[in-house]
Amino acid sequence: MTNYERIKAMSLEEMAAFVEAAGRNTFHKICVYRQGGENCKKMPCETGIKHWLESGVLDNA
Q: What is the pLDDT of residues 15-47, one digit of tens each?
A: 777 776 776 566 666 777 776 666 677 777 778
In the 8-state DSSP scheme, what is residue 2? B
The verdict on residue 42 lying in a domain is yes
The verdict on residue 23 lying in a domain is yes
Q: What is the pLDDT of residue 36?
A: 62
The verdict on residue 59 lying in a domain is no
Domain that holds residue 16: 3-54
Where do runs of H (alpha helix) occur along 1-61? 3-8, 12-22, 26-29, 37-42, 45-54
Q: Any idea of the CA torsion for 59, 9, 54, 50, to the nearest 10 degrees?
A: -110
The verdict on residue 12 lying in a domain is yes
The verdict on residue 61 lying in a domain is no
- Residue 56: strand pairing partners: 2
Q: What is the pLDDT of residue 34?
A: 72
Model confidence, pTM? 0.53
**11 pLDDT higher than 60:** yes
Q: How many domains does the chain have?
A: 1
